[in-house]
Amino acid sequence: MERGSSTFVKQAAILAGASILVRFIGFLYRLPLTDLIGDQGNAYYNAGYQIYTFFFIMSSAGLPAAISKMVAERIALRRFRDAHLIFRSALMIAAVAGVFCGLVVWIGADFFSSTIVGQPLSRPSLIALAPTLTIVGVMAVFRGYFQGMGNTVPTALSQIAEQVVNAFFSVFLAYLLMPKGVEYAAAGGTAGTGLGALAGLAVVGGLYSLASPRLTARAAKAPKLTQTSNSIIKEILKTAFPIILGTAILSYSNMIDTLMITKRLNASGAFTEIEVAQLFGQFSGKYVVLVTLPVSLSAAIVAAVIPSIASSKAMDDREAVRKKINTSLRLSMLLSIPAAIGMSVLGNQIIGLLFPNQSQGGSLLQWGAAGIIFLALAQTSTGALQGLGYTKIPVYGAIVGSIVKIPLNYFLIAIPEINVVGAVLSTIACYFAASCIDMAVLSKKTGIRFDWMGTFLKPLFSSLIMGVVCYIAYYTIFYLTDRNSVSTLASVLFGVGAYALTMILVKGINKDDFRNIPFGRQIIRLLDKARL
């Protein structure tokens, strides 16, 4: 693996490691939170989050990718003054957009909760989330600036701090507010998000303060500015807008899930109001939460690949661009395919392990785990396109995916025997369509030959072996112990071992891959001794 790809993989590994820890902490706090507020409370909690996520996307979701791309291009050409001006200009954009969107959410909480998501009792959650929009927007700029300089450590540290504080206060505030009603307990859970974001901003802002003298001195020695503040602001908005639009379209389609699930389940006439809220809570509070764990790892890869590809393109190094694209896709599938197979095989068991007192919803994982693969593929190919400057292409993919998703939702959810599984199936179709478009255009624009064997076939074969091992291990151990928790955890460990061993045997993982992960060299020595 060439040096640029190696550096990119290491930065992606840092973010991926942080993502694993962050998601693990997230699971830990969602367990007592779900026990506390139940599927009904999860419905209010996640309905509020759908609106918050939409406005977060509109205000600042495109900024980290846009800033990291623009900064990486300037750094590659040693235009450090321009890079610093991008950072300062982006801060102003994030602050203005965050305050504006926060006020819209605060003032319009009644309308959004009642009319848009059809969950009037999600209003307190929305009000609690409104101030967070400004905080996360400013934090996104700091993260994008550091990522553009090829340093993902500040992002990783701030993510961990954010989640630790979020976890504690979400459960604590939900517990304090539970006597007022489940809707206020859900709002307490969302309030923890804002406090966590404040902690994350403090960390990344503090790290910037430490690095500021060096960055300012480097900028002072660099050639004079080649752009004005106004031209930089225009470029940021021009770069960020297609990213925001594509993400907003998919977010809007997810928000349609929130609205359509409630309305179409009611239209079926087969469920009570409480049962509708519970089914939606299983979808949003269990299925969505669980499938985003492995997808968060591909998101880490995307965060690293955008500035890395942008830097190589700025230097007109086409071969490096192709290598980085194939590397990012292979890493994404290396993680996503086994996660999808594992969740499909052990869907009910995983739900029973994580939510022993609220164990419904395992069928959603069994049916919908394949969505992990296509969502990860869409994310990674989108990141590569954005790094190359083709920011409009993912918008078209998102539009096509949404067009596919909405009618499927409409017809499938209203069938009582299918119910919320219909939303899961339509989500798979949505991301399948989007990823196909992104991959086709990526191939056409770059002339890249995708490594189909290393990226897809070897991980799929190894994952199928893993799935068989998980199935046999679970039912064997369950027969001996009659305990789901022990059987599930043990079968996961057996499955991970089977997958890793099979991938080594089929040469799906090589020494270069191990060199770019923590303790990789020690693993290499052990495998060499075992002649693997």
pLDDT digits (tens, 9 = 90+) for 76-97: 888 888 888 899 999 999 999 9
Nearest CA-CA partner of 133 in 95, 93, 98, 91: 98
Percent of the chain with pLDDT over 90: 27
Angle, to 10 degrees, between the axis of helix 288-314 and the axis of helix 318-345?
170
| Residue 437 scores a pLDDT above 70 | yes
Residue 6: the pLDDT is: 55
pLDDT digits (tens, 9 = 90+) for 12-61: 777 777 877 887 887 778 778 877 787 777 777 777 877 888 888 878 77
pLDDT digits (tens, 9 = 90+) for 292-322: 778 777 777 777 777 878 887 887 778 888 8
Q: Answer whether 403's CB lies under 8 Å from 437's CB.
A: no
Q: What is the mean pLDDT of residues 188-197?
A: 89
Residue 266: the pLDDT is: 85
pLDDT digits (tens, 9 = 90+) for 488-507: 999 999 999 999 899 988 88
Domain boundaries, the chain: 3-450, 458-532
Q: Answer whether 31's CB lies under 8 Å from 354's CB.
A: yes
Residue 141: the pLDDT is: 93
| Burial bucket for residue 16 (CB in 10 Å: 0-12, 13-18, 19+) | buried
- Using alpha carbons, list the distances in angstroms from residue 295 to 93, 291, 338: 28, 7, 12
| Residue 105 scores a pLDDT above 80 | yes
**Which carries the bigger pLDDT value, residue 136 or residue 218?**
136
Residue 90: the pLDDT is: 92
Which letter does DSSP use for residue 315 in this model?
T
Residue 470: the pLDDT is: 95
**Which carries the bigger pLDDT value, residue 270 or residue 526?**
270
Model confidence band, residue 467 (pLDDT cutoffs 50, 70, 90): very high
Residue 451: the pLDDT is: 86
Residue 145: the pLDDT is: 92
pLDDT digits (tens, 9 = 90+) for 325-380: 888 888 889 889 999 999 999 988 988 888 777 777 788 888 888 889 998 898 88
pLDDT digits (tens, 9 = 90+) for 370-410: 889 998 898 888 888 888 888 888 888 888 988 898 899 88
Cα dihedral 419, 421, 422, 424 sign: positive
Model confidence band, residue 1 (pLDDT cutoffs 50, 70, 90): very low
Residue 3: the pLDDT is: 45
Residue 346: the pLDDT is: 92
Residue 492: the pLDDT is: 94
Nearest CA-CA partner of 131 in 163, 167, 107: 107
Residue 465: the pLDDT is: 96
Q: What is the mean pLDDT of the chain?
A: 84
The pTM for the full model equals 0.76
Distance CA 321, CA 448 (A): 9
| Residue 2 scores a pLDDT above 60 | no
Q: What is the mean pLDDT of residues 180-184?
A: 84
Model confidence band, residue 8 (pLDDT cutoffs 50, 70, 90): low
pLDDT digits (tens, 9 = 90+) for 251-296: 666 667 767 888 888 888 888 878 887 888 788 778 887 887 787 7
Q: Give backbone dihedrals phi and psi of 85, rounded to 5 degrees, phi first.
A: -65, -35
Q: Which residue has the tokens 């087969």?
A: 270
Distance CA 518, CA 14 (A): 9
- Using alpha carbons, list the distances in angstroms from residue 184 to 41, 88, 177, 180, 339: 9, 38, 6, 6, 34
Distance CA 278, CA 359 (A): 12
| Residue 523 scores a pLDDT above 70 | no
Residue 511: the pLDDT is: 66
Residue 255: the pLDDT is: 66
Q: What is the mean pLDDT of residues 453-475?
A: 94
Distance CA 421, CA 412 (A): 8
